[in-house]
Amino acid sequence: MSDIAYKKALTEYLEGFVSERRKGRLKEVLKERTNHMTLVLEDVYQAHNFSAVLRSADIFGIQTTHFIENRNKYKISEDVSMGSTQWLTLNRYQKFENNTASCLSELKEKGYKIVATSLHKNSISLDELDVSKPFALVFGTELTGISKDVEDAADEFVKLPMYGFTESFNISVCAALCMHQLSSRIRKEVPDYGLNQSEKEDIYIEWLKASIRKNDLIIKEFEAKYHAEISN
């Protein structure tokens, strides 16, 4: 049987352990998810910042976040993230000496424009950013911001207006403000901002798993039945 048939059978099996109300809620949220904008966090080191960004990503419907771990490792504070990680797609880049280059190169190959948050001399406002094509929004480390590698790879730079003495936002605040404005614009300006059908199917399966206690045992049971059926 094909991969399509396998996913269909697994989905139907898992749905049997979830209430109609729960299934309805999962599908309702899934309709508003987007990968048209994706997030990149480069060497963020404070767990509460990681966690707050992910919580905001879930709230604003941004499905995927990429973690670049050159010096600092990915850490989550569940008290801050409020369980949001189970509903998101999280990609970690930690295998190479320069994980920044690896991550941004991969995103560009997938068709993403690299947009860095920075007070760069060529920075534009969020209102000026063209959101018609998929883009990856990059946030740098707490103290020094984006690295030279991000600066060199970036296609555009954006900034938030600031009118006080303080020269920068906390990263989680900056990310939330950017996500709020840009996700609102995407939903108004990009007709096909949602996930494609394959993405929806894969994420729905993961969300069903997250909704079921002891899902590992249930999946093992499904695997045994499924392979027995296709071998007959």
Q: Which two tokens stand for residue 158?
A: 């954006």
Are 137 and 93 part of one and the same domain?
yes
DSSP for residue 111 = T
- 114 plus 127 within the same structural domain: yes
Structural domain boundaries enclosing 17 = 1-33+197-232
Same domain, 184 and 111: yes
Number of domains making up the chain: 2
pLDDT tens digits, one per residue of 163-178: 887 777 788 899 999 9
What sections of the chain are H helices per DSSP? 3-15, 20-31, 47-59, 78-81, 99-109, 148-153, 171-189, 197-210, 215-231
Same domain membership, residue 127 and residue 102 = yes
pLDDT digits (tens, 9 = 90+) for 172-224: 899 999 999 999 999 999 999 999 999 999 999 999 999 999 999 999 999 88
Residues 83 and 175 reside in one and the same domain: yes
Q: What is the mean pLDDT of residues 29-42?
A: 96
Mean pLDDT of the chain: 90
- Range of weakest confidence among 64-78, 118-132, 178-192: 64-78
pLDDT of residue 49: 83
Q: 76 with 85: CB under 8 angstroms?
A: yes
Provide the pLDDT for residue 184. 97
Contact 148, 126 (CB under 8 A): no
3-state helix, strand, coil in the chain (%, to 5): 50, 15, 35
- Which contiguous run of DSSP H or E holds residue 136? strand 135-139
CATH number of the domain within which 172 lies: 3.40.1280.10
Rg (CA), the chain: 19
Q: Please compute the mean of the pLDDT values over residues 37-62 and round it to a whole number.
A: 90
Distance CA 152, CA 121 (A): 13
pLDDT at 47: 77
Average pLDDT over residues 143-161: 89
Residues 119, 224 within the same domain: no
Q: Do 156 and 110 lie in a common domain?
A: yes
163 and 56 housed in the same domain: yes
Residues 127 and 203 in one domain: no
Classify each residue of 7-45 as buried b or exposed e, where b means 16 or more C-beta atoms within 10 Å of its C-beta. eebbeebbbeebeeeebeebeeebeebbbbbbbbbbbbe
Q: Considering the chain, what percentage of its residues have pLDDT values greater than 90? A: 65
Cα dihedral 90/94/95/97 (nearest 10): 140
Q: Are the C-beta atoms of 206 and 30 separated by less than 8 Å?
A: no
pLDDT score, position 73: 73
Residues 80 and 175 in one domain: yes
Same domain, 27 and 68: no
pLDDT of 232 reads: 67
